[in-house]
Amino acid sequence: MTEQVLVIAHDDCMSHVTPPGHPEQVARLAAVERGLLGLPLDRQVAPMGATEDVLRCHPQRHIDRIRNALPPSGWAQLDGDTLLSPGSYAAAMRGVGGICHAVDHVLANGTRAFVATRPPGHHAERETAMGFCLFGTVAIAAMRALDHHGLSRVAVLDFDVHHGNGTQDLLWDEPRVRFVSSHQMPLYPGTGHPNERGAHGQITNLPLAAGSGGAQMWAAWQPALEGLRRWQPELILISAGFDAHRDDPLAGLNWTTPDFARLTRAICDLAEECCAGRVVSALEGGYDLAALAESVAAHVTELGRQTA
C-alpha cells in the first residue's frame, strides 16, 4: 500500500550556481526530478526560511557573514570547496523554509516528506560554512520540532557517506535529540569517531571502511535502530545523502540502490512503531547523477510505502 509523499522544492535552489566541474551542481536537482517521475507525490513549494529558525542553531553573525559575502556576479569562495553565487543565500533559506514547513506539515498530518533543496546542510557548523553547506538545515528542523512544537524526543539519522560534523556540532549539547551517522572513515571532514558521543551520550557514530557495502551498512545500522526503538522518538529526520553509492566519485563505499531502499524501509518501519510514521527526509549529498536519480527514486518509493 502506498500513499503520496510530500515533496518540497523551489526554483531558487537552482540559483545557487557553482563553477563548472564542481560536484555540487545545479544538475543534481534535475537528476532528483528524474528519480521522482511517476511517483505519487504531493508537491509543495518551499517557503523562504525564517531567521528565527536559523537562530536556533546559528548566531546572527554567521547569517550576516554569508549575506555579506554574496558576490554581485560570479563566485565568492568561503573555503576550498564551498562557494557562493548571487543566489546562494536565497537557495539556502529555501532549504531552511522547506524543511521547517515539512516538519509542520508532517506533525499536523502524519504524512512523510522529502525536501529536494540545495545546497546541502549537514557540514555547516555553528559559525562555519563548509563542505558545500551554509546552514545546518536538518539540525534547524530538529530544533523547530522541539522548541516550536514542543516535542521531547527527535531522532536525526544521517546516511550520507561523509560524517555530518555540522549536525553533530549543532546538536552536541541537545539531550532531546539522538543523532546517528554512518559514514566512510577516513574521509572528509575527518570527524565521526565512535568516541564522539555528545554532551549527554546522545550521539552515535558508525564509521565504515572504504570498500564496504550493504552487509556492513546493515550490521552497523540494525543495532542503532534497535536502540532508537527503545528510546521511542516522536519524529524522525533523515539527512539523505546518496554518495555512499558505489558509482559516486567522491567516496569509496559500495552501497547499491537496493541498500538505500532497505535502510529507508527499516527507518520507516521504526517510525510506524514509534511516531505514527512521521518522517522528514532532506537531500544531502550524491554526486553521480544517474546513481542519484536511482537512489532518490528508491528512497522516496519507500517513504511512500505504508505498512499493511
Active site residues: 123
Cα distance between residue 291 and residue 298, in whole Å = 11
Beta bridge partners of 208: 184
Per-position b or e across 225-250, b if 16+ CB within 10 A of its CB: beebeeeebbbbbbbbbbbbbbbbeb
Q: What are phi and psi of 281, to 5 degrees?
A: -115, 140
Return the H-helix or E-strand segment holding 198. Answer: none
Amino acid letter, residue 108:
A
Task: Find, among 117, 166, 171, the residue nearest to 144 by Cα.
Answer: 171
Q: In whole angstroms, what is the distance from residue 231 CA to residue 186 CA? A: 30
- Helix or strand (DSSP H, E) at 63: helix 60-69
C-alpha span between 141 and 145 (Å, rounded): 6
